[in-house]
Amino acid sequence: MRHEAIPSTLFSENRARLKARLPAGSLAVVNANDIPPTNADGSRIPTPNSDLFYLSGIEQEETILVIAPDALDEKMREVLFVREPNAHLKTWEGHKHPKSEAQAISGIREIKWLTEFPAIFHKLMCEMERVYLNANEHNRAVIEVETREARFVHQVRAKYPLHDYRRLARLMHELRVVKSEVELTLIRRACGITGQGFRRLLRTVRPGVMEYEAEAELAHEFIGHRAQFAYNPIIAAGANACTLHYNQNDQPCRAGELLLLDVAACYANYQSDLTRTIPVSGRFTKRQRQVYDAVLRSLRAVTKAAVPGKLHKDWQKESEKILEEELLRLGLLKPRDLKRQAADKPAVKKYFMHGVGHPIGLDVHDVGLLKQPFAPGWVLTVEPGIYIPEEGFAVRLENTVVLTEGAPVDLMADIPIEAEEIETLMNRGAKPPKPRAGPTI
């Protein structure tokens, strides 16, 4: 693994929290993700299954975790199945976890080879009444390819049709949305590395730089700190920023334009999410500054409004009202626009058309039951923006925050965001002070 070792107590405690939610006579199974293919005989590095990582810390392909708190054999109450290392695998694929290493990472005592899974699983199925199987139940997921988990569900239900089958995903959403202190430490580290990348970038952006060259500066900083991109980076100059999920990143940054940077680091599978908008020439124009300050005021107001007990949909409505007032001040909306707006088509959507934030953790758009009110320990993004295609630019600002019993805590508070600070750093020409990469565990 690229990242530093994580205390196995994190995963042991996560499993204990899941067991507490399982009714008597239950069995839960989580599979690793498939290795994604490319073309011909190519493949990509697999993305760990977030639920499997949350419960075990294991990132190795083909791994299976079985949890059966009431199994007659106490050794079978937590079993991790991994590929058995051999000389062939070592030559062609490299290191695979021996049992001792899988134990140390996960805190699970009973480690078995994958070849032992069918017999042990059959024995447990004969004992148990309820079976919790996993699926991707994210409400925005577009599922076009059958996953390893989906294939497993079909196989198990065909072989054992008379069990009481239940959804593991719902329980995992409840658990994962509230972050522990160790998880927050890992997210803070991802945020710290993101900040280092942004400061590095500020020294290099100038007229004539290509969007992909800005991306390369971030990649250098992230990879050098044992991290990677949390998502496909959006490096959008000028009017490109009006495309919300712009991924082309191949255009020049021109004098007088703004450069929107929606890019952040992932460390130890924990994500961060940042957006900044900077002036390519090192100074905001008067109009750009007006819009920038409006979005920055909105960011602070929307952050303050993210408090325990509030529903996400109500937070979104409050945020739209905040942006609406700013759009009126900027002259982008007129009072008559508000009088004419339909309830299902608010005028604000012309210039601010997306959600104001989302849970974040092991996934960028992390799981969580948004019908439930916010609670302490939730980590959210806050990302207001104003998009003006007719003027050829957009401003979006975004930070990652954690909710507490009191005010939200901004995990990116030390990353430059004030217009004057950004201009100063872009025009200083000297190396910035060495920033911290965030805390270690």
**pLDDT, tens digit (0-9, with 9 covering 90-100), for 207-263:** 999 999 999 999 999 999 999 999 999 999 999 999 999 999 999 999 999 999 999
Residue 46 has pLDDT above 80, yes or no: yes
Task: For residue 206, give both structure tokens.
Answer: 């100038």
**pLDDT, tens digit (0-9, with 9 covering 90-100), for 56-87:** 999 999 999 999 999 999 999 999 999 999 99
Tell me, what amino acid is at 432?
P
**pLDDT, tens digit (0-9, with 9 covering 90-100), for 288-343:** 999 999 999 999 999 999 999 999 999 999 999 999 999 999 999 999 999 999 98
Q: What confidence score (pLDDT) does residue 343 get?
A: 85
Residue 199 has pLDDT above 70, yes or no: yes
**pLDDT, tens digit (0-9, with 9 covering 90-100), for 30-42:** 999 999 999 999 9
Residue 430 has pLDDT above 60, yes or no: no
Whole-number Å distance between alpha carbons of 385 and 348:
11
Q: What confidence score (pLDDT) does residue 437 get?
A: 62
Find out whether 56 and 89 touch, Cβ atoms under 8 Å: no
Nearest to 349, CA basis, from 403, 389, 386? 386
Find out whether 100 and 106 touch, Cβ atoms under 8 Å: no
**pLDDT, tens digit (0-9, with 9 covering 90-100), for 156-170:** 999 999 999 999 999
Find out whether 111 and 80 touch, Cβ atoms under 8 Å: yes
pLDDT above 70 covers a percentage of the chain that reads 97
Residue 396 has pLDDT above 80, yes or no: yes
Average of per-residue pLDDT values in the chain: 95
Work out the average pLDDT over 358-371.
95
pTM, to two decimals: 0.95
Residue 182 has pLDDT above 60, yes or no: yes
Nearest to 34, CA basis, from 152, 155, 181? 152
* 239: number of Cβ within 10 Å: 19
Find out whether 186 and 54 touch, Cβ atoms under 8 Å: no
CB within 8 Å of 382: residues ≥ 6 apart: 299, 302, 303, 306, 356, 357, 398, 399, 400, 401
Whole-number Å distance between alpha carbons of 50 and 21:
19
Q: Which uninterrupted H or E stretch holds 224?
A: helix 211-224
* 173: number of Cβ within 10 Å: 20
Angle of helix 99-106 relative to helix 8-19, nearest 10 degrees, comes to 70
User: Which domains are assigned to the chain?
Assistant: 8-176 (3.40.350.10), 181-428 (3.90.230.10)
Residue 433 has pLDDT above 90, yes or no: no
CB within 8 Å of 294: residues ≥ 6 apart: 326, 327, 329, 330, 386, 395
Residue 431 has pLDDT above 50, yes or no: no
